[in-house]
Chains A and B, each alone.
Chain A
Amino acid sequence: MSRRRTPVLGWNLVGIVLFAVMVFPVFWMVSTAFKSDDEIYSFTPTWFPGHPTLHHFRTAIDRPYFWTDVKNTVIVVLITVAIALVLSFFAALALAKYRFTGRKLFIVLVIGIQMLPPTGLVIPLYVVLARYQEVNKLSGVILVYLTFALPFCVWTLRGFLIGIPKELEEAAMVDGSTRLGAFVRILLPLVAPGLVATSVFAFITSWNEYIFARTLLSSGSTQTITVWLSYFYGGARSVDWGAVMAGSTLISIPVVIFFLLVQRRIAFGLTAGAVRG
């Protein structure tokens, strides 16, 4: 199958241009974050920062509530992921290894919930949480995030569990160990990559979430980091674009790292799609 040389070269060129166009916004964000104000507000922009400065990063971090809101986000995300993972693992196990009445209904529920537009539920969740004094508290947001993380985790984990051959499980049982023992010694190591991938996806979804955080958390000290960033511009005087871009860069870093971690699994399945905004 010898392909002719020229077309590949041509396609490569197209590929490189595509890469440049797609990545440009990210590049521009980072580049702006390191520029001096003079360069940022010049009518003739420079591509790279002439004298890279950390000034904007300092401004962003020094803005009120940055660390508080990072802490809030970490708390919300970690607890959501932990609870979602434990609960959904068992449900996924049931889906992957057993047939039972109501299974179909359960699958419809799991997939259906993922399809609900979050905005459609903002109002009732808000009013209900308000009745139980859970508005403007992280616990309220965690509950809401669980509704969306759980179905997604069940579905993803199910995919990983199906891949495990039944014989392995049975082999472990023959050894005379209990089912739980079999689970711990044989299943767990096999599922570990799946658990990691799932939790990373759940992590990213919760980290990026915006509408519920904005609606449910009203004061600076209880907000999450995406809400912090979205309020960045209405700030005093005019917009400090350098600092906004520095803040944006900081917020993206954990997500980028985690994404790279599970990058290979992304191609695995459609499930990853749930990570989209």
Chain B
Amino acid sequence: MPYALVAPIVVVLGAILGYPVYYLVRLSLEKYGLFELIQHHGTYIGLHNFGSVLHDSVFWHTLLRTVVFTVANVTLTMVLGVLIALLLVRVSTWVRLLVTAGLVLVWSMPPVVAVQVWSWMTNVQNGILNYLLTELHVGNFFQHNWYLTTFSQYSMVTTLIVWGALPFVAITVYAALSQVPHELVEAAQIDGARAWRVLKDVTLPVLTPVLLILTSLSIIWDFGVFTQPYLLIGPGQQTTSNYLMSVYLYVEGYGQTNFGRGAAISILMLAIVAAMSVVYVRRMLRVGEEQ
């Protein structure tokens, strides 16, 4: 019986995912450019694509940049998300409802929409950000271009991504916090335990699994992020000096019709992500086993 229930989905996934994955491996061993695309037929060249990617300093720089970017984004998201959750515990009910409503609203913004709003707010001529910073006397930001240097570009991308990711983290952590048994906290407080001890001995054990899952999910998402950097920085501004992994793969493989090379980069990237997901998958597997 269970097999009959599972069979259709396995067949569908096998057909629309299994075959492309097989094809990915095959493509990575082939020369497959515009000419081959027209012929619908590649030429086998062995491991040449992998060799050329691994010997390309652009690949290594991109990898390093992506790792730094991921660490920065995940750290900001997690720290701010937990702080917001802790805040939600402390405020009055109506403020909590207000903030939660705001968070849900932000959560529901489609990424492409968020990108448009961001580029409008950071517009050189009429962006509200430049106006506000100038008015608040942070400095003269009149016609300041936020996309002039790679660092500045990614500061903007980071604010956008963290802003979009905060609601998920904050709300989930808050939900976990409300699972912390009240009696325990009170008991500890009556015993005269200091705040941080309560946090360490009572709150953290409940939070740890949730934080672990959230962190690994964030790492995986931010490592493979595409829409925000690609659109916010702009398709015409993607270069070897500001690629992230996904964008690199998209531009070198798809944009320049070099599918074989693109496939090789894809495989390397998938391998890295797979290695990173091990922690998460194992944990979820345990959840799946518990019934």
Residues of A at the B interface (CB closer than 8 Å) are 1, 7-8, 11-12, 14-16, 18-19, 22-23, 25-26, 28-29, 32, 40-45, 87-88, 90-91, 93-98, 100, 103-104, 106-109, 111-113, 115-128, 130-131, 143-144, 146-147, 150-151, 154, 158, 162, 204, 207-208, 210-211, 215, 226, 229-230, 232-233, 241, 244-245, 247-248, 251-252, 255-256, 258-260, 263, 266-268, 270, 272-273, 275-277
Contact = CB atoms under 8 A, between A and B. Distances in A.
Contact of A11 (B87, B111, B121, B220): B87
Given A115-B274, A127-B259, 19 more contacts: A25-B163, A95-B288, A108-B281, A111-B284, A117-B224, A119-B249, A119-B269, A122-B250, A128-B20, A130-B37, A131-B40, A204-B108, A215-B254, A251-B110, A251-B112, A272-B168, A275-B168, A277-B114, A277-B221
Contacts of B163: 22, 25
A150 B12 contact: yes
Contact of B116 (A119, A229, A259): A229
A143 to B, nearest CB: 5
A113 B17 contact: yes
A174 to B, nearest CB: 19
Contact of B104 (A29, A210, A266): A266
Contact of B171 (A91, A154, A266): A266
Nearest to B128: A45
Interface residues of B, number: 103
Contacts of A94: 1-3, 5-6
Which interface residue of A122, A127, A162, A268 has the most chain B CB atoms within 10 A? A127
B117 A154 contact: no
Contacts of B40: 130-131
A74 to B, nearest CB: 15
Given A16-B98, A100-B2, A277-B111, A40 B126 contact: yes
Contacts of B125: 41
B154 interface: no
B110 to A, nearest CB: 4
**Chain A interface, >50% SS class:** helix
Contacts of B249: 119-120, 122-123
A87 B280 CA distance: 25
A260 B104 contact: yes
Contacts of A215: 254
A11 B84 CA distance: 11
Contact of B273 (A116, A124, A146, A266): A116
Interface in B145-176: 163-168, 171-172, 174-175
B32 interface: yes
B166 A12 contact: no
Given A93-B5, A154-B9, A248-B113, A124 B266 contact: yes
A117 B254 contact: no
A112 B210 CA distance: 19
B24 A211 contact: no
Given A115-B277, A244-B120, A252-B113, A267 B171 contact: yes
Contacts of B102: 18-19, 22-23
Contact of A29 (B20, B117, B266): B117
Nearest to A179: B1
Contacts of A16: 95, 98
Interface string B97-136: 0110011111111111111111111010110100100000
A119 B274 CA distance: 14
A262 B113 CA distance: 21
A208 B281 CA distance: 25
